[in-house]
Structure formats: structure tokens, C-alpha cells
Amino acid sequence: MNLLHVIPSLNPKGGGPIEGIRQLCPPLSERDIGVEVVCGDPPDAPWLQSCGFSIIHALGPSLLGYGYTPQLMPWLRENAARFDAVIVNGLWQYPSFATWRALAGTKTPYFVFTHGMLDPWFKRAYPLKHIKKWLYWPWAEYRVLRDARAVIFTCEEERLLARQSFWLYRVNEVVTSFGTADPPDNADDLRKKFLNSYPHLHNKRIILFLSRIHEKKGCDLLIEAFASVAASDARLHLVMAGPDQTGWNKILQAQAEKLGVLDRITWPGMLQGDMKWGAFHSAEAFCLPSHQENFGVVVAEALACGKPVLISNKVNIWREIDADSAGFIDEDSIDGTLRNLKRWLALSAEDSKLMAARARRSFVSRFRIEQAATRLLEIIQRSSELNIKKS
């Protein structure tokens, strides 16, 4: 079987979906599944050399802020027959529309991962953008989803929320598991590497935020809540790791200074590879108070490292975390974030160890990427069988 991933860009600053796709490749390759990627990146984009895909068709640069790549549709029409399935990653940019135009009515089926882009939070947070999306929806994304062999959601919560954004909605819904690979097994070395890069963090009780520095991630909530508990333990330290794509860092640092905790927060920027895993292993807890989070690959990564997760109930896998007692869940508000921090701080040493063990078990049972690869293949094969029967 040969699969093609279609995605606007492989730039790792794009967040969890790109990392999730990258992690899917090794377990698929182990099953003799060929995987290629077509994207709108320029061929000389520096991140293409280290993104982990063996065959990349970079057709960019893309134009107009819409991911428009003129070569994409002709390329898809010419190459579609080589693939057993095409997987579209994301909505609201040209690659999804181009895939629909190129493949609708052909023998090559395509599937869509929405990656949370139909969450109604965006409608409430950006009403003017939602009006613009409504103008685009009937003749573009509605048809993309309607004609897909299946629209794949990474958890049940995402599937249910997706129905709430547009009343014109007709899709073949399926739910898959999602996750990430096991972290490297040299935890002590990774921890030392990270702490040696930030020596002021030695002997600190680190609370880790690792995601994009973005409004929807609740960074401001976390800083406010952290300021309320910082005085309870002089060793507490917050690490705010992630790329700042909107220029929000300065505002958040001004907030921290006003609250008197600027010297208790470290801002290392985007962490990758060993430094990312070192940050996870150096932390005592992971915190993500997002207003909207489709899945949260970073949450799965934290669990994989045996770290309790303090998340909002807008992280769509919160029900699974709650069922496994692998962390604390509350509202995406200052009070909710503060309650999560206080519950974690109130744990005894023994209870902390037990929660860490439950976090690791939650990852093993639910979020290993091998399970996601198996489920994806099941969805593709099952949909093909059903289509043959219909024919």
C-alpha cells in the first residue's frame, strides 16, 4: 500500500499535527506501507532536511497566505494513480480544495484529518473570521468533506464538536486513535543536557508549558495562576517553551513582570529533539490550559515521560486523562488553572509518584503511535471494502 499526505507546510512551528504525521511514518514503514508527502514548502526550506520523511515533494513556495501552490493540482492529477489513499491534513487552505478538485470522482480515495479546525471555539473567538469562512464553506470545504471517503477525528470529543460550527454539514465520520512515539530511553542524559543549557533551573520544581505561544493556548492564564502559587515554594519555576508566531511573548513577559514573577519564568523558545525531551524529563508536571486543543500531541509526550498533566477541559482528550487519573482537569480560566496547580502542589510525595506512574500507563494503553497507525490502516481498508460492496 502507498499513502500520500497532503499538507500546506512541514514547518515544525506549525505544531502538533506535523509532529503527529511525522511520528506515523516509522510504524507504517514497518508494515511495508510507502509514505510520501506533498507540501507547499519551497524545495530549499531548511526544515525539510530533518523532518523525518523519506520522500517529500515540495512544490512551493506557496502564495497569498492561503497556501496556494499552482503546481499542486496538476501534480495530484498526474500522480494520484500511484497511491492507494491520499490523506489531507487540515482545512481552510488551498491544499484541501486542490485535492478535492483533483481527486473527486477518480478511483483514488482521499481522507481528511481536520486536526480540530472545525472546533466551535474559533467561531466564538474570531466571529469576523467565521463570517469569512461561511462565505468559503459552501463551495469549498463543505464539498471537500462531503466527498471524502472518510473524515477522520482523533477523538470522540473532536467529532462531536465539529458538528457545531456549520449547519451545512455532511460527512462520513470516523474516529481514530492518535498519539506519539515512545521518548528516547536515555532520560538522565537528556535531563542533564537540558539543565546544563539552563543552569539556573538546577534543583527547581519545574512546571512545563511546551506549545505554541498563542492566545488559544491559555498562556496568560497560566502566568496569572503561577503568580498566585509561586510564593508557596521558592523552588517553583515555570518554563514557557514554544515558538512565538504572533509577537505575544513581550505582552506575556510584561504581565509576568507586573505580577512579580518574571524571574521565576524561563522562555527558551521552541525546543526540539533532545532539548524537548530533556525539558519534559526535567519537569515535575506539564501544564496546558488551552481554550481549544484538538488532541494535544504534547500532552501525550508528557504522559510518555511519566509527567502528570494539568490541562483544561478544552483539551479534547481530557476525558481519557480523567478516567486514567493521570492529571488534573478544570475550566480554561484563571481560577480553573489555579485549582489544577493547587491540587498538584497538595499531592504528597507518594501520591505524586503514583500519578506519574498512572500518566505513563495512560500513554502506553491509549496514545502510542503504533496504535494510531494500525487504526488508520483499518479505516482505509474498511472504507475501501465498503466502497467495493456499494459498487
Q: Does the model's pTM come out above 0.85? A: yes
b vs e for 212-233, b when ≥16 Cβ sit within 10 Å of the residue's Cβ? bbbebbbbbbbbbbbbbbbeee
Checking if the pLDDT of 387 tops 80, the result is no
Contacts of 323 (CB under 8 A, 6+ apart): none
Q: Indicate the SS3 state at residue 213.
A: strand
pLDDT computed for residue 160 by the predictor: 92
Phi-psi category of 159—alpha, beta or left, where left has phi over 0 and alpha has psi -120 to 50?
alpha
- Per-residue pLDDT tens over the stretch 185-219: 999 999 999 999 999 999 999 999 999 999 999 99
Model confidence at 158, pLDDT cuts 50, 70, 90, reads very high
Grid coordinates of 83 = 497511491
Domains and CATH numbers, the chain: 2-180+369-390 (3.40.50.2000), 187-367 (3.40.50.2000)
Model confidence at 360, pLDDT cuts 50, 70, 90, reads very high
Grid coordinates of 207 = 512546571
What number of other Cβ atoms are within 10 A of residue 351's Cβ? Answer: 12
Q: Which residue in 351, 327, 325 sits closest to 337, CA to CA?
A: 327
Grid coordinates of 118 = 472545525
**What value does the mean pLDDT of the chain take?**
93
- Radius of gyration over every alpha carbon of the chain, rounded to an integer in angstroms: 21
Model confidence at 122, pLDDT cuts 50, 70, 90, reads very high
pLDDT computed for residue 295 by the predictor: 86
pLDDT computed for residue 389 by the predictor: 53
- Per-residue pLDDT tens over the stretch 125-145: 899 999 999 999 999 999 999
pLDDT computed for residue 152 by the predictor: 95
pLDDT computed for residue 332 by the predictor: 97
What number is the average pLDDT over the span 138-164? 94
Helix axes 297-304, 16-30, angle to 10 degrees: 60
Instruction: Specify whether the CB–CB gap between 287 and 340 falls below 8 A.
Output: yes
